[in-house]
Amino acid sequence: MQACEHLTPILNSMISAGCSVQGESGNWSEAQHVVHFSSPLPASMRGLAQPPVVYYQAGRTPHNAGDEGYFCRACRVGLSFPTTE
Ligand SMILES: [Zn+2]
């Protein structure tokens, strides 16, 4: 499991909060590397983004389940959480 230097503090906070990692993927058009969590983003963990890290929300599409999380624009690395409906 790896994230960039900007996301590692957030990643560690998630692990400390009990979030578990489902897997990782890479080589997306917009992201080099994404860490996927198996549980939703805790509400208390939504305010952690500081540049170059941004918080994002992506709606469900025919091809993708919705997700939210953090993305580092400098390193193109993301932390992805499933959204509940
Ligand atoms: Zn970064």
pTM of the model: 0.90
Instruction: Note the pLDDT tens digit of each residue in 45-71.
Output: 999 999 999 999 998 888 878 999 999
Ligand 1 centroid–CA 30 distance in Å is 14
CB half-sphere exposure, 42, CA atoms < 13 A: 13
Ligand 1 centroid–CA 78 distance in Å is 9
The answer on pLDDT for 77 being more than 80 is yes
* pLDDT recorded at residue 85: 59
In the structure, ligand 1 is a single-atom ion and the residues with CB under 5 Å from it are 4, 6, 72, 74-75
Q: What is the mean pLDDT of the chain?
A: 93
| For range 34-51, the mean pLDDT | 94
